C-alpha cells in the first residue's frame, strides 16, 4: 500500500474492476422484471437533500472513479490478491442480494436471503467491493476516500429506512428489531 500512488492512464488500472462490477450489475438488471427495477431505483419516499449537498456527492463520486481508474493495479503484489479476493466477495454478495431483491413481491419488504442477516446487504456488498478495489490498487488515499464514501452512504441508508417504515409500517419495524442494519452489528 502506498501513500502516493502513481496516477496514469493504463490498461491494468483499477477501472478494470469497476467495469467488471458495473458490467455484472448491468447484466443482472437485464433479467429483472420492470417493476423490480422501478422499485430498485424508487426514491420517492426519501427526503430530498439540498442541491449543494447532492452536487458535492456527485463530485465526490466522480473524483473517486477518476482516482480509481487512473491508479494501476498492484498485479503480482500480495495486496492485489487480497484486494481482488475482497472485491470478489463483495461482488458475489451484491449479486446475491440483488437476486433476493428481485424475487420479493413489490408490496412487501425484502426480508429473505442475505436480507435475513443484514437490512442493507446491497450497500454492504458494494462497500466491500469498493474497499477491495482500493486495496488491489494498493492506495491508502483510495482506501481513505472509500471509507469516507461508506460513512456518507450511511446517511442514505438511514433515509431508506425511514421510507421503508413509512411504506411497510409495522412489518418493517418488526424486521428492523430482529435484523441488524449491517452484517452482525448495529
Average pLDDT, integer, range 34-52: 73
pLDDT at 80 over 70: yes
Question: What pLDDT was estimated at residue 49?
Answer: 65
Domain regions of the chain by residue span: 15-178
d(CA 22, CA 20): 6
Question: What pLDDT was estimated at residue 73?
Answer: 94
Tell me the pLDDT band of 167, cut-offs 50, 70 and 90: confident
pTM, whole model, 2 decimals?
0.85
Average pLDDT, integer, range 153-160: 83
Q: Which CA distances in Å does 26 have to 20, 31, 58?
A: 10, 9, 20
pLDDT at 47 over 80: no
* 3-class secondary structure, 139: strand
φ/ψ (deg, to 5) at 2: -120, 150
- Give the CA angle between residues 124, 64, 70 to the nearest 5°: 125
Question: What pLDDT was estimated at residue 83?
Answer: 96
What 8-state DSSP symbol labels residue 49? P
Average pLDDT, integer, range 34-48: 73
**What are the pLDDT digits (tens) for 54-75?**
777 788 888 888 888 999 999 9
- Using an 8 Å Cβ cutoff, are 21 and 129 in contact? yes
Rounded to the nearest integer, the mean pLDDT of the chain is 87
User: Percentage of residues in the chain with pLDDT exceeding 70?
Assistant: 93
Question: What pLDDT was estimated at residue 63?
Answer: 85
Question: What pLDDT was estimated at residue 77?
Answer: 93
Question: What pLDDT was estimated at residue 44?
Answer: 66
Count of positions (residues) in the chain: 186
* 3-class secondary structure, 13: strand
Q: Is domain 15-178 in CATH 1.20.120.1630, yes or no?
A: yes
pLDDT at 20 over 90: yes
d(CA 7, CA 72): 7
Question: What pLDDT was estimated at residue 8?
Answer: 86
Question: What pLDDT was estimated at residue 186?
Answer: 54
Contacts of 18-23 spanning 24+ positions with Cβ under 8 A = 18/65, 18/68, 18/69, 18/133, 20/91, 21/87, 21/91, 21/94, 21/129, 21/133
- Using an 8 Å Cβ cutoff, are 109 and 172 in contact? yes
- Using an 8 Å Cβ cutoff, are 137 and 83 in contact? yes
pLDDT at 21 over 60: yes
> For the purposes of burial, counting CB atoms within 10 Å of the CB of 4, is it exposed (0-12), middle (13-18) or buried (19 or more)?
exposed
Amino acid at each position: 500500500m502506498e501513500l502516493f500512488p502513481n496516477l496514469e492512464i493504463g490498461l491494468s488500472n483499477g477501472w478494470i474492476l469497476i467495469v467488471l462490477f458495473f458490467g455484472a450489475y448491468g447484466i443482472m438488471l437485464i433479467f429483472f422484471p420492470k417493476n423490480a427495477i422501478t422499485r430498485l431505483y424508487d426514491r420517492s419516499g426519501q427526503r430530498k437533500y439540498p442541491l449543494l449537498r447532492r452536487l458535492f456527492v456527485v463530485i465526490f463520486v466522480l473524483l473517486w472513479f477518476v482516482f480509481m481508474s487512473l491508479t494501476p493495479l498492484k498485479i503480482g503484489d500480495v495486496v492485489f490478491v487480497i484486494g481482488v479476493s475482497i472485491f470478489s466477495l463483495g461482488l458475489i454478495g451484491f449479486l446475491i442480494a440483488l437476486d433476493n431483491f428481485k424475487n420479493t413481491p413489490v408490496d412487501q419488504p425484502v426480508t429473505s436471503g442475505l436480507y435475513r442477516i443484514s437490512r442493507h446487504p446491497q450497500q454492504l456488498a458494494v462497500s466491500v467491493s469498493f474497499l477491495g478495489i482500493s486495496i488491489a490498487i494498493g492506495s491508502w488515499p483510495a482506501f481513505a476516500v472509500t471509507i469516507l464514501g461508506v460513512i456518507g452512504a450511511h446517511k442514505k441508508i438511514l433515509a431508506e429506512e425511514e421510507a421503508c417504515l413509512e411504506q411497510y409500517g409495522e412489518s418493517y419495524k418488526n424486521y428492523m428489531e430482529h435484523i441488524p442494519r449491517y452484517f452482525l452489528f448495529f
